[in-house]
Structure 1
């Protein structure tokens, strides 16, 4: 860490947002010349132990006194997202709104890492250090989302390479305004699933909800709902319709035959029915339940990645008519 806080905070309204990440490992040679987020020049991802280097500034003691030893040590032991900003309001409410926007951006970045592999990387409470000319002003908020892996656990540390980290950040930067507005709506409305929301956005919302579940049966049911939001066009024979369409359009077809995909979706729908109707799962079926969760996790990942990177494919998921036409082509062309 070559630059300390004095470099970033030189006048009133200058600020640095800091958001710690958990359960993530990354290369030690990430370039300090590379901005993490295109929409925030100077934004970086810092290694563990970089926080105390960042605090090699004239107000180090005041910052440590305000944070407290335990929080400072936690930040110094964490990989950090650091975002310098200009013109941040000194008003508490407005500053917290700014921090909420940053947290939404970082959570989107963390969510995008899932596109590369199953993980339980999370962002923790965010901090905003503003106008450190005398006594430091430090705002803090707590994140409400928490992700688990396909087994419903959050204890595994996952490594990501340079390309994966900056690709996930680039996608987050390009969709920053959308997800910041989405985060605000979550506080203002009883549901994000409102009329007019695109089918693809609904699918991604359900996928995010599935990843928040540590109960694997609930997770499986939510993943099935995500696939229904994306692929179903009627309420008739939903189990068969969804299983057939996942088998037909299966984005992991190279690794799984349509027959196997169909069978796995049928099993997934069976677990989903147990969840929605208050039934229970026998202990002898626990391994099958976890295997189903892994299958759905991978299937949803491949669908989402394909939709985010293929404009033509996104165009096929505009409405029921376009999806039915897509299915007909897949069946007969």
Structure 2
């Protein structure tokens, strides 16, 4: 069945993308062409409402759409559209992840729509992603992306997104048997959706901890040195990253244990958050490299991962990543 998916993309600045727009995945496009957007809106009839239609036509920074066949075996059209729209939203989350890997930003989509073809009668389903991204410093400013940066973002082969709550009828995604990298992604998603910078830092640190820790002892030291070793060979860069993650852990400890921050610490929060965000993006990139020994180690047992990390910390072939 041919369906049309539509949503606005905000908190991002893009160059003029005319006509059909810039393709970012099979059948998905981003456009700023108002005539194209108006034509897409016509497929929804009056089902969107005047406020929503004016937002998409006039105020959204860009519009993401798909108009193609959607597979499914649901007899009920409403259920079919509901499931198809969830798939569309997750595809857009993958683009959002690619944009973050290019650079820190607060790109946002919230309400989305999908329409059945006119020959089935106009039926529209809508859904929302109930979180709002902020940049690492807690701001919601629109970050500019060039066409080339957009193309890099779409070309990044990101791993499958972690299961989000209610995708599998579970009250938590942090279940036994879940993969380390999925848990890392889950915490990164939480960090990006929290505007409080101190709590944002806490989530970044929790993500790194879920990724590389293999025991509960000396966690801040263990995570800091392991992350630094994964990203850098011995030398100044490794030391700098170690100190940054260790300092972020200090802020995390205060945040999660209910302590307050002194004025000089408050002034440092934004810089530390931007730094730990860069570290998390670098770790993510190390994982998705074509031949990544780090990824291979993460997909083994805790014992084998521990041995890999000890080797790059203390072995003769220190950090070959």
TM-score range, shorter chain: 0.7 to 0.9
* Aligned 1:217-232 pairs, distance under 5 A: 217-232=198-213
Residue 125 (structure 1) aligned to one of 111, 125, 140: 111
**Contact 2:19 2:36 survives alignment (8 Å):** no
RMSD, aligned α-carbons: 2.7
| Cα shift at 1:128 | 0.6
Q: Which residue of 1 aligns with 2:259?
A: 279
- After superposition, the Cα gap between the structure-2 partners of 1:114 and 1:30, relative to the gap in structure 1 and judged at 3 Å, is farther
Distance 1:30 1:52 in 2: 10
Contact 2:4 2:68 in 1 (8 A): yes
Partner of 2:32: 47
User: What is the deviation of 1:276?
Assistant: 1.7
Match of 1:83 among 51, 66, 70: 66
Relative to 1, partners in 2 of residues 1:100 and 1:252: Cα closer, same or farther, differing over 3 Å?
A: farther
**Aligned partners of 1:17 and 1:126 also within 8 Å:** yes
> Which deviates more, 263-272 or 121-130?
263-272
CA 127–223 in structure 1, closer or farther in 2 if over 3 Å, else same = same
Match of 1:308?
Answer: 288
Q: Distance in 2 between matches of 1:123 and 1:16?
A: 17
Contact 2:137 2:197 in 1 (8 A): yes
Residues 185-220 of structure 1, C-alpha deviations (whole Å, 9 max, x = no match): 546111111111111121111111111111111111
Q: For residues 246 and 218 of structure 1, what CA distance do their matches in structure 2 show?
A: 20
- Show the counterpart of 1:97: 83
Question: TM-score normalized by structure 2?
Answer: 0.85
In structure 1, stretches of 5+ residues that fail to align are 1-12
Aligned partners of 2:110, 2:196: CA distance in 1, in Å?
A: 21
Q: For 1:268 and 1:63, how far apart are their aligned partners in 2?
A: 48
Aligned to 1:65: 46
Tell me which residue corresponds to 1:22.
Answer: 10
Matched, 1:327 2:309: yes
Cα distance in 2 for partners of 1:30, 1:234 equals 53
2:122 aligns to what?
A: 136
Q: Is the 8 A contact 1:19 1:81 kept in 2?
A: yes
TM superposition shift of 1:131: 1.7
Q: How many residues align?
A: 308
* Aligned-partner Cα distance in 2 for 1:237–1:33: 51
Among 232, 250, 255, the residue aligned to 1:270 = 250
Query: Does structure 2 conserve the Cα–Cα contact (< 8 Å) formed by 1:26 and 1:159?
Result: yes
Q: 1:250 aligns with which of 231, 235, 249?
A: 231
Query: Which deviates more from structure 2 when the two are superposed, residues 110-119 or residues 284-293?
Result: 284-293
- Would you say the 8 A contact 1:251–1:302 is kept in 2? no
Q: Residue 164 of structure 2 contacts residue 173 of structure 2 at CA under 8 Å; is this kept in 1?
A: no
Deviation by residue 1:250-307 (Cα, 9 ceiling, x = unmatched): 35999x6333222222221111111121111123311211111111100000100121
CA contact 2:227–2:283 (8 Å) conserved in 1 = no
* Alignment of structure 1 residues 127-276 onto 2, 5 Å: 127-133=113-119, 136-154=122-140, 156-171=141-156, 178-179=160-161, 182-183=163-164, 185-186=166-167, 188-250=169-231, 257-276=237-256
For normalisation by structure 1, the TM-score amounts to 0.82
> Would you say the 8 A contact 1:186–1:192 is kept in 2?
no
Output the CA distance in 2 between the equivalents of 1:129 and 1:114. Answer: 29
Task: Single out whichever of 220-229 and 279-288 deviates more from structure 2.
Answer: 279-288
Residues 204 and 226 of structure 1 are in contact (CA less than 8 Å); yes or no, is this contact kept in structure 2? yes
